[in-house]
Structure 1
Amino acid sequence: MNKIVKYILIGILVLGALWAAAFFIKSNSKDAVTYETQTPFISNIEKKTVATGKVVPEDEVEIKPQISGIIQKIFLEEGQKVKSGDLIATIKVVPNEQALNQSRGRVRNAELALNNVTIEYNRNKALFDKGVISSQDFNSLQLQYDQAQQELQNARADYQIIRQGSAGGSTSANTNIRATVEGTILEIPVEEGDQVIESNNFNDGTTIATIADLSKMIFEGKVDEGEVAKLEVGTPLKISLGAVEGTELDAKLRFIAPKGIEETGAVQFKIEGDVEVKEGVFIRAGYSANASLVLEKKDDVLVIPEALLQFDKKTDKPYVEIETGDQKFERRDIEIGISDGVNVEIVSGLTESDKVKVWNKTEPIKKGEDEEGEEGKSEE
């Protein structure tokens, strides 16, 4: 019995020794990892940010009526170009019955007053011609007669304005809605038959049309509070439009809001930039756009790819590994500057002759492994 146990133990030890030997041979048969290196180089580097927004006309003019009424006729359409003075629409006046009745009564009273003064004037004129009354008395009657005539003219003119919207002989009737500036009609928010309200001290009035010059456009966007301090008025912008592929417009920053607006937990500041519209490029008002802004730029500085950086787990300071011999590396702490997301500036710690270890290179997938993976997927 003891011999059987002894043989079993010996067999187990032999199998263990064979397994350990096989594992050791397999481990040492793997190819040794060979690290590549890269050297720092001189280049220009820019730190950029992107502001999202839209492109809108610099000035939009809203055309409003000077009298209330109903849209009788619209002569133009959205998208048409207009000049100052072009007729856009006409308004049919719907007079207020109370105001119309009062104005009609005023005209009747002025007629009665004029008739009475006319009788007195004619009678006293005959007496004046005979020398019965003095010049002073006749002059007083002459003044009353002239005032009564003027009052009747004023009453009739007011009645005409209330009834038709303008006095007879007016060179520019209030019922004609005309363009006040040159540009393109962006919007006509009313239709024929709509009722409109006049613009006055207590009411903005109904907008008949909106006109803007599409050759003068600006970019409106927002930037984060962490970047706004690095911006300056006059900074060049590159505007890319989502609706116009392959077109990039130049612009200059002209305004930075002094007050931020909190949106989804972050403070945003409004910015504006003058856009240079290229000839042959038609930009519609309200196109969504992105503006690329250069926050910081340095020329002819020493840089390395940002992927070569490593960071200390305790201090979070950057460092790289420098080749000191054949596949031998040592750690070197460095100081970095600005980054553009691809390359990073080296302030100190490296020279152009140093060879930096590529520590995180992605190994290519071998053909055999790739085929095995595809077979596994097909079997599943």
Structure 2
Amino acid sequence: MHRITAGGSRLPAFALLSATLILASCGSGNQTAQKKGAGGPPQVGFVVVQPGEVPVVAELTGRVNPYQVAEIRPQVAGIIRKRFFAEGTIVRQGQTLYQIDPSLYAASVAEASASLQNARANAEAARIKADRYKPLAEAEAVSKQDYTDAVAASRQANAQIAQSGAQLQTAKINLNFTRVPAPITGRIGRSLFTEGALVTNNQADPLAVIQRLDPIFVDIQQSSTELLALRRALAQQGVVPGSANVRVKLEDGSEYGLTGTVEFSEVVVDPNTGTVTLRARFANPDGLLLPGMFVRAIFTQAIDTRAYLVPQQAVSRDGRGDAQLWVVGANNKAERRNVTADRTQGAFWVITKGLNPGDKVITQGIANLKPDADVRPVPADTPQKIEAPRKGQGTGASKSKGG
């Protein structure tokens, strides 16, 4: 038998052949195990979804309007003698704002008062005459016609008293109108007329404008299409009306600190804009909201009690724009679902159709999924386990050294 020298020593040929076969066998076993591990089902992360109360939040444009507006107009004609307020300040209800020259109206009061006294005197004389004619008419000392005329004259005199009294009251009212008071409490703007200006009771321009800014209104515009969809949703089971609380974002993007409430919704659609106006009331103690300001109103119009919140990365769109996602089906197989996802809420899609309570929605490892493919589901964000090589599973070189 031939002997082969290796490393200065002589080994039998059959021993060297046996060692070679053992090394080949070990290497083949490692490769088979690696292929088996690499070809297993892919690991996917899932979340279990349950229906919950998801608010239907609307963010609409709005314009700030004063709570009350009063245009100060004169009710009598005359010259403005004095102005009693500072422009841009807060005025109180009943506070005198202007004084119109009262001279003519004071004279009218005096004239009406004198007419009333004259009417009373005439009425007294007519009454006495009628009383005197009564017994004479009964004794036929005077004709009954004379007595009838005396009674009629007495009644006319009493009517003249009432007429003169009404004229005196009108004169006093006009005299009071020369003092122009504030009808409401609020902030008054600039005065459009100065002292010495002639004003009339039928002029087009007001003397000034008072606006009450605390509380204050925000008129919100919502399209009739959105309102119709909301009402249809409220007619279905599972959707209930939301709260009447409203928040607003100011023009600079900051949020107004106080919350308002919806007062009412108009029942007509503006034919020019196709919108319906909703009015919300806000407290405005610091005067931060000013009339004419544009804001964004945010409020919950309804609450969907059967909606699902699904992380946005789990939902994709097909070529037609329809939403779809993957769920873990029976026997751990991937199942594609078409769902209805019309809006987002934070980092979630709001799913209203296509899911069932307890579904396992795949949120991780969805890049290469295929329908009915086997998957290895684990809860989302589970770290992958990387195992160290087992003892004895070294490289071929090390095994050859050990062999």
> TM-score normalised to the size of structure 1?
0.55
Contact 1:261 1:267 in 2 (8 A): yes
Change (3 A) 1:70 1:221: farther
Distance in 1 of aligned mates of 2:200 and 2:242: 42
Contact 2:186 2:212 in 1 (8 A): yes
Aligned position for 2:129: none
Aligned position for 2:71: 62
Change (3 A) 1:260 1:300: closer
Aligned position for 1:285: 291
Contact 1:233 1:255 in 2 (8 A): no
Partner SS, residue 362 of structure 2: coil
Change (3 A) 1:286 1:345: closer
Aligned position for 1:332: 336
Aligned position for 1:183: 186
Q: Over the residues paired in the alignment, what is the CA RMSD in angstroms? A: 5.0
Aligned position for 1:269: 276
Give the partner amino acid of 1:218.
F
Residue 66 of structure 1 deviates from its aligned partner by 1.3
Determine whether 1:304 maps to 2:310.
Answer: yes
Aligned position for 1:354: 362
Aligned position for 1:209: 208
Count, aligned residues: 274
Distance in 2 of aligned mates of 1:283 and 1:235: 20
Give the partner amino acid of 2:324.
Y
Residue 67 of structure 1 deviates from its aligned partner by 0.7
Change (3 A) 1:253 1:357: farther
Residue 171 of structure 1 deviates from its aligned partner by 9.9
Change (3 A) 1:64 1:234: farther
> TM-score normalised to the size of structure 2?
0.52
Partner SS, residue 206 of structure 2: coil
User: What is the correspondence of 1:116-195 to structure 2 with a 5 Å cutoff?
Assistant: 173-195=176-198
Partner SS, residue 216 of structure 1: strand
Match of 1:345 among 346, 350, 369: 350
Distance in 2 of aligned mates of 1:37 and 1:304: 16
Give the share of equivalent positions with the same residue, in percent.
16
Determine whether 1:82 maps to 2:91.
Answer: yes
Residue 255 of structure 1 deviates from its aligned partner by 1.9
Q: Point out where structure 2 has 5 or more consecutive residues left out of the alignment.
A: 1-41, 123-141, 232-240, 369-403
Determine whether 1:225 maps to 2:232.
Answer: no
Change (3 A) 1:191 1:182: same
Give the partner amino acid of 2:70.
V
Distance in 2 of aligned mates of 1:273 and 1:51: 12
Distance in 2 of aligned mates of 1:214 and 1:291: 18
Match of 1:72 among 81, 92, 97: 81
Residue 175 of structure 1 deviates from its aligned partner by 1.7
Partner SS, residue 274 of structure 2: strand
Distance in 1 of aligned mates of 2:328 and 2:57: 33
Distance in 2 of aligned mates of 1:233 and 1:61: 35
Change (3 A) 1:254 1:188: same
Cα shift readout 1:283-328 (whole Å, capped 9, x = no counterpart): 4333322211224434696432335423333x6532235689xxxx
Distance in 2 of aligned mates of 1:252 and 1:47: 17
Distance in 1 of aligned mates of 2:326 and 2:177: 82
Distance in 1 of aligned mates of 2:64 and 2:45: 44
Greater CA radius of gyration, 1 or 2? 2
Give the partner amino acid of 2:78.
G
Give the partner amino acid of 1:247.
Y
Residue 333 of structure 1 deviates from its aligned partner by 1.8
Change (3 A) 1:268 1:357: farther
Partner SS, residue 226 of structure 1: helix
Change (3 A) 1:94 1:242: farther
